[in-house]
Amino acid sequence: MALFKARRNRGTRNGHDVHPVDEVLPPGRMAAYGVQHVAAMYAGVVAPPLIVGEAIGLSPLDLTLLIGASLFTAGLATILQAVGVWKIGARLPFVNGVTFGSVAPILAIVGQQAEGTNPLSVIYGSVLIAGVLAFFVAPYFSKMVRFFPPVVNGTVITLIGLSLMPVGIGWIAGDDSSAPDYASPAKIALGAMTFVLVLLFNRFLTGFWNRIALLIGLLVGTLVAWPAGLVDTSTFSQAPVFDLPLPFELGTPTFSITATLSICIVMLVAMMESTADMIALGEIVDRPADQRTIAAGLRADGAGSAISAVFGGFTCSAFAQNIGLVALTRVKSRYVVATGGVVLVLLGLFPMVGAVVSLVPQPVLGGAALVLFGSVAVSGIRTLGKADLGDPRTTLIVAGALGVGLIPVVAPEFYEHFPAALRTVLDSGISTGCIAALLLNLLFGSTRKPVPEHAPAAPATD
């Protein structure tokens, strides 16, 4: 089936062979693929500012500005990752945006502020410092790549896909379990229909249409949902036509030691997840993420977060669902993702345009997400195939890491009585599973030669 075939070919540029990651596609296709990446991540980008803005009690106008700033800065961070400047940017089809892992600590910071103060000022000061810290520790953090043999890589990549599944299911059922329409038959039917459509489009469409199968599925699902009253158009009444995010428009940074430590922990967790995501993406696009690539990618995470604090966003990190989109569509060009970054910048500048993207109902997005997240898990299973699963020690590494990593996935409140600082790590199945895989791999004596600083790219095959 087209969905599960892996095609490894090289593009051409000026008559010379180039790796598919560096291929520049025709403008029309580049735009369509870029919009598809934005559609896959849009809900994840706007959810954190929505939650934080409502917790603070922002006015509708300020909430719109906060969402616009998150879109704008996510676009800048994505362009920085994909295109790269100097030693900044992984130069892979790597999408960046506001990490949801920062929401809980930010809400805690909001609750600690005295009445009459602007919590956003403290948040932006903390994010600014955390971003700068991440930028400078990136070369040292990247040395961890030598501890990621296939058994660890495959386990972590599989966990990324499995950990995202509840997100897609939550989009279908709804966020509020007490709501009358939570998990209603209409929502489930809409999600199931989109799920089936994305699979069928991937199976039967060919060429360009196959590559945008997810986008077509989202469009058809939205059109079906519209007459059923499941499309929310209220955003149009609040969104201005144009808004240019200005430095520190929503709050001038102030600094708190406890708040800064909390966000720094979030940033370190995000760096760990980004490292795993870069390794996963390198496997998918046949360009292994070596130590230099990971360091450059982590620098972009730090720089993106610092820039985000200046323009009104939060900590930036990788979006794993877009890795699933790369695996699903097999469109490996980093310039496609850079185009998606440009689209995000435009959405931030023109909130009215961003309102169009927000028309996609969450059940429709959830149905498509199940295919995306499943594709990530399949990539992890494929990587595990390179490990010797017949060795009982290897089996124990995978079993133990999956068991630990799935705890916060199947029981989100499992660690609720632990200190907040620890929960920043423990509540992330990707982080706990990654740590468990690394420790178990060391414990059971699996060895691997250190990864060279400049690992050669995997050769292309016809």
369 lies in some domain: yes
163 lies in some domain: yes
337 lies in some domain: yes
Taking the C-alpha atoms of residue 135 and residue 126, their distance in angstroms, rounded to an integer, is 14
461 lies in some domain: no
Taking the C-alpha atoms of residue 220 and residue 242, their distance in angstroms, rounded to an integer, is 28
DSSP state of 160: H
Taking the C-alpha atoms of residue 260 and residue 409, their distance in angstroms, rounded to an integer, is 27
Domain count, the chain: 1
455 lies in some domain: no
Give the domain extent around 300.
16-443
Per-residue pLDDT of the chain (462 residues; tens, 9 = 90+): 343 333 344 455 544 578 899 999 999 999 999 998 988 887 778 778 877 886 787 776 777 788 888 899 999 999 999 999 999 999 999 888 887 667 767 877 777 676 667 888 989 998 999 999 999 999 998 887 777 788 887 887 788 778 878 878 888 988 778 888 888 999 999 999 999 998 999 888 887 787 778 878 888 998 999 888 888 776 666 667 788 888 888 888 988 887 788 788 778 878 877 888 898 899 889 898 888 999 999 999 999 999 999 998 888 888 877 888 888 888 999 999 999 999 999 988 987 776 666 677 888 888 888 887 787 788 788 888 888 888 888 999 999 999 998 998 888 889 888 887 677 678 777 778 888 988 999 988 644 444 444 444 444 433
Q: Is 351 exposed, middle or buried (0-12, 13-18, 19+ CB in 10 A)?
A: buried
- The pTM (predicted TM-score) of the whole model is 0.72
Size of the chain in residues: 462
462 lies in some domain: no
Taking the C-alpha atoms of residue 128 and residue 272, their distance in angstroms, rounded to an integer, is 19
- Other residues' Cβ atoms within 10 Å of the Cβ of residue 260: 19
Instruction: Please tell me whether residue 231 adopts helix, strand or coil conformation.
Output: coil
- Residues paired with residue 16 on neighbouring β-strands, in sequence order: 13
190 lies in some domain: yes
457 lies in some domain: no
